[in-house]
Structures are given as structure tokens and as C-alpha cells.
Amino acid sequence: MRCHPASTTINLQQLINRLLVFYNPVATKQKCYFINAAGHGLYVNTHAESLGTLLGSLFYIVARCSHDTPILVTAACYNERAAVSVQCSSKADSYRILHGFQHLQILSKELNGSLDVSNYENRETTITFNFSSRIANSAPEFMKKGETNTMNQSGTRL
């Protein structure tokens, strides 16, 4: 029987910010830079170490395969799924990107996720990692349970 790692609540924007500190120098060597456009209130519940490893590898691969372009990172949460997308505006070397993803496919399955690479007219490449999250939204806990309680201005439930 396979042991599944414990899930923790993670702020996606903060995780992405921490990772980009390490991968911006790689992008800079390729005359690229990252833009983190993930929203402030996006939280997911998943295995933090696996998600960090996967996103870090994804950022590294995209930075190494891109040239002279901004690299846009976005995130969205819906129902019990979350997605992180990385988009570069220049023609990226799709073969090198796909080759680099081979090890990420295994890790994505551990997070109940999948990777998708799309290329628009050979000018714009988007890589999306879609994965499971039990609390993939930014609503406070009592709202997730469907309660109708209200809060005062200090955030205390009435």
C-alpha cells in the first residue's frame, strides 16, 4: 500500500514568489524575466514539498528554454481543482520543454494532477499544471461549509 504525504494549506502566490527568487537568475541569463500574476488569496490543500518541487522544476525548464521574453505565471482555483499556468510570448523550444517534462509527469500524478503544453501559432507557449486541492478557493472556512454567518469589520464572526 502506498503512503500518501500529508496535505497542508498553501498560499499559491507566496509559494510562487519564493520559488521565483531561485529561478529569476536562470531566466535573466536567457534575457527573460518572470511575472507572478497569481492572486493574493489563492489557497490550496496539497503536499507542499511535492508541489514546490514540481513548480520549481517547471519554472527552471521554461526559463532555460525561453529567450528574450517575459514569462507570465498565473494561478486559478475552481471547485476542488487548482491550476498554475506558465506562458512565454516568444517561440520556445517545444521539444526541449516536452523532454524536460518527462520526470514531472510522475510527480504530477502523485498530486492527482496533469501537465498540458499548448503552442499558439508557434509564437506563444503555455504550460498548465492542473491538480487536486480539497480547498481550492479563497473563501474563509465557515463560508466553505455553506454557513451564512456574517463578520464584523474586525473579522470576528457574529
Higher pLDDT, 64 or 151: 64
Q: How far apart are CA 28 and CA 64, in angstroms?
A: 10
CA torsion through residues 90, 94, 99, 104, sign: positive
Place of cell 502506498: 2
Task: Tell me the three cell numbers of residue 85.
Answer: 499556468
* Domain assignments of the chain as residue spans, ordered by start: 8-138
Task: Write the pLDDT tens digit of every residue in 8-26.
Answer: 999 999 999 999 999 999 9
How do residues 119-145 score in pLDDT, each as one tens digit?
Answer: 777 678 888 999 998 754 444 443 344
Q: Which of 3-12, 92-101, 113-122 has the lowest mean pLDDT?
A: 92-101
> CATH number for the 8-138 domain, one of 3.30.565.10, 3.40.190.10, 3.40.80.10, 3.40.190.80?
3.30.565.10
Angle at 112 between CA 23 and CA 81, to 5 degrees: 80
pTM above 0.85, yes or no: no
Q: How far apart are CA 27 and CA 65, in angstroms?
A: 9
